[in-house]
């Protein structure tokens, strides 16, 4: 038998910045037990990349296999599945986006829907030839825009941003002009966690006569968004991060209702036709948001999203955001106390009003630190060149998880 295990002598005292009082006072604490247990994981700090599965999923999948698919077979298309893209889209719009019905649809991947949104927006501004985005947006966004520019003979105008911050209305105003067709922004920066002012950016974009497309991948399900009120024209987001849809889960697209008649879908598929079963010789798009559906709806991939939305609706998105702020504030307090003295630099805004639900810390050895942490069951992620992201999904993350993760980072830096 081994003797009692003692904490390393270099560890901070157990009563320094304790997590237990925060977890005891957390009104959302019961939700952390409503996800499947991750065997061998000490602290999961990557919910901003892949959310944990909801505990009700095995029963939901069993019903799909035994009843909806296994018993009803192809009849389920008429009975349930055909309307799922718009029904689930409306639910995401209501629960997370501040979007009235008829403007959100679930289909395809984020990349495909970004292409559809930006291409359609560009074509809806004939005579304008410039696409504007910042130079630290997620690679997919940059690659899609560059591809569309090459395809349509457009020009990309870059906004230079501080990678520890993000895009602002003032920065957008410096770049947009009479040739601007589309501005594409990340609501929350994948690197820094900066939370953009969508309403302010929308005003600047519209003053220039352009359309705003927002990427909501790192905000949907954790930051209340008000697309209708903020004047966002189109938006795209994934469902596998804070909406816990699982690997390969489908994305969603929002398009403002009054703009829809001017948006021509660039990928014309039969599922987006005005009459799907007419098998018509020519393509006529559906009158509403369904026109952005191209192929067969991803029925299996939509199931986990429905389970997570049940939890979001039960908790309330405002309460989710409140806990998100508390988690990131606690993480920053631990970083300041335990990691900054070791040479770590905070790469995330300090002001909670301009911060999403992850905290990025930078150090030259972070790639090696993350590799060690994963082997120990502590799971943050690494972003080139030197950033470790602490992703905090409020309904599945405890304050104890945050403390255990930051303590493991400290130990790895001291040992390396």
Residue 221 domain flag = yes
Give pLDDT, residue 9: 64
Question: Are 369 and 410 in a shared domain?
Answer: yes
- Measured between alpha carbons, how far is 409 from 160 in angstroms, rounded to an integer? 31
Q: Based on the number of CB atoms within 10 Å of its own CB, is 56 exposed (0-12), middle (13-18) or buried (19 or more)?
A: middle
Give pLDDT, residue 5: 46
**Residue 341 belongs to domain with CATH number:** 3.90.1150.10
Beta strands in 36-170 (DSSP E): 43-44, 104-107, 130-134, 155-159
Q: Which of 108, 134, 215, 233 is catalytic?
A: 215
Is 240 annotated as catalytic?
Answer: yes
Nearest Cα neighbor of 97 from 214, 201, 245 is 214
Question: Are 182 and 268 in a shared domain?
Answer: yes
Question: Are 129 and 208 in a shared domain?
Answer: yes
Question: Are 130 and 235 in a shared domain?
Answer: yes
Residue 1 domain flag = no
Beta strands in 193-296 (DSSP E): 211-215, 234-237, 251-255
Residue 358 domain flag = yes
Question: Are 100 and 223 in a shared domain?
Answer: yes
Last residue in a domain, options 312, 329, 349: 312
Last residue in a domain, options 251, 286, 312: 312
Please report where in the chains the tokens 């986006």 appear, as a residue. Answer: 97
Give pLDDT, residue 397: 98
Question: Are 143 and 263 in a shared domain?
Answer: yes
Question: Are 247 and 367 in a shared domain?
Answer: no
pLDDT tens, residue order, the chain (416 aa):
334 445 676 899 999 999 999 999 999 999 999 999 999 999 999 999 999 999 999 999 999 999 999 999 999 999 999 999 999 999 999 999 999 999 999 999 999 999 999 999 999 999 999 999 999 999 999 999 999 999 999 999 999 999 999 999 999 999 999 999 999 999 999 999 999 999 999 999 999 999 999 999 999 999 999 999 999 999 999 999 999 999 999 999 999 999 999 999 999 999 999 999 999 999 999 999 999 999 999 999 999 999 999 999 999 999 999 999 999 999 999 999 999 999 999 999 999 999 999 999 999 999 999 999 999 999 999 999 999 999 999 999 999 999 999 999 999 999 96
Range of the structural domain that residue 340 is part of: 20-55+316-415
- Beta-strand relationship, 130-134 and 104-107: unpaired
Is 241 annotated as catalytic?
Answer: yes
Q: What is the DSSP string of 289-326?
A: GGGG--S---HHHHHHHHHHHHHHHHH-HHHHHHHHHH
- Measured between alpha carbons, how far is 350 from 328 in angstroms, rounded to an integer? 9
Q: Which of 291, 389, 403, 411 is catalytic?
A: 389
Residue 6 domain flag = no
Question: Are 356 and 329 in a shared domain?
Answer: yes
Residue 67 domain flag = no
What angle is formed at CA 410 by the lines to CA 404 and CA 412, rounded to 5 degrees? 100
What H or E segment, with its residue span, contains residue 391?
strand 387-391
**Residue 287 belongs to domain with CATH number:** 3.40.640.10
Is 389 annotated as catalytic?
Answer: yes
What H or E segment, with its residue span, contains residue 90?
helix 84-92
Is 215 annotated as catalytic?
Answer: yes
- Per the CB < 8 A criterion, the answer to whether 264 and 255 are in contact is no
Please report where in the chains the tokens 């009479």 appear, as a residue. Answer: 178
33-44: burial string, b at 16+ Cβ within 10 Å, e else: ebbeeeeeebbb
- Per the CB < 8 A criterion, the answer to whether 133 and 156 are in contact is yes
Q: Which of 115, 240, 252, 330 is catalytic?
A: 240
Nearest Cα neighbor of 225 from 238, 213, 233, 216 is 216
Question: Are 47 and 107 in a shared domain?
Answer: no
What H or E segment, with its residue span, contains residue 402?
helix 399-415
Question: Are 47 and 125 in a shared domain?
Answer: no
Last residue in a domain, options 312, 328, 344: 312
Residue 75 domain flag = no
Residue 148 domain flag = yes
Question: Are 229 and 190 in a shared domain?
Answer: yes
Give pLDDT, residue 10: 84
Q: Which of 91, 128, 191, 241 is catalytic?
A: 241
Question: Are 230 and 367 in a shared domain?
Answer: no
The structural domain count of the chain equals 2
Q: Which of 138, 162, 336, 372 is catalytic?
A: 138
Helix (H, G, I), strand (E, B) or coil at 107: strand
Residue 14 domain flag = no
């Amino acid at each position: 038998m081994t003797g009692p295990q003692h904490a390393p002598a270099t560890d901070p005292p157990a009563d320094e910045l304790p997590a237990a009082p925060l977890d005891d006072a957390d009104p959302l604490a019961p939700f952390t037990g409503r996800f499947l247990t991750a065997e061998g994981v000490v602290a999961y700090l990557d919910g901003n990349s892949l959310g944990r599965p909801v505990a009700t999923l095995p029963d939901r999948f069993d019903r799909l296999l035994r009843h909806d698919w296994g018993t009803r077979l192809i009849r389920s298309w008429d009975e349930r599945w055909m309307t799922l893209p718009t029904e689930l889209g409306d639910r995401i719009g209501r629960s997370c986006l501040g979007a009235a019905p008829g403007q959100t649809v679930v289909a395809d991947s984020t990349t495909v829907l970004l292409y559809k949104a930006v291409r359609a927006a560009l074509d809806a501004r004939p005579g304008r030839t410039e696409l504007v985005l910042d130079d630290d947006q997620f690679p997919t966004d940059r690659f899609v825009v560059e591809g569309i520019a090459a395809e349509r003979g457009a020009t990309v105008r870059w906004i230079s941003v501080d990678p520890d911050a993000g895009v602002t209305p003032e920065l957008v105003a410096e770049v947009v002009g009479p040739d601007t067709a589309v501005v594409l922004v990340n609501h929350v920066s994948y690197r820094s966690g900066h939370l953009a002012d969508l309403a302010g950016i929308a005003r600047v974009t519209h003053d220039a006569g352009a359309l705003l497309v927002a990427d909501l991948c790192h905000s949907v399900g954790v930051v209340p968004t008000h697309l209708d009120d903020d004047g966002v024209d189109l938006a795209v987001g994934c469902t596998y991060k804070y909406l816990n849809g699982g690997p390969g889960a489908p994305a969603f697209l929002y398009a403002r209702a009054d703009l829809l008649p001017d948006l021509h879908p660039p990928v014309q598929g039969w599922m987006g036709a005005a009459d799907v079963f007419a098998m018509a010789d020519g393509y006529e798009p559906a009158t509403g948001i369904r026109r952005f559906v191209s192929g067969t709806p991803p029925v299996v991939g939509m199931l986990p999203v429905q389970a997570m939305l049940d939890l979001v609706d039960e908790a309330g998105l405002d309460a989710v955001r409140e806990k998100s702020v508390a988690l990131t504030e606690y993480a920053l307090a631990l970083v300041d106390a335990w990691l900054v003295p070791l040479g770590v630099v905070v790469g995330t805004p300090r002001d909670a009003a301009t911060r999403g639900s992850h905290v990025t810390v930078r150090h030259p050895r972070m790639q090696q630190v993350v590799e060690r942490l994963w082997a120990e069951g502590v799971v943050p992620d690494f972003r080139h060149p030197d950033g470790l992201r602490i992703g905090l999904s409020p309904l599945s993350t405890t304050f104890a998880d945050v403390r255990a993760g930051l303590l493991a980072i400290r130990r790895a830096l001291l040992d390396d």
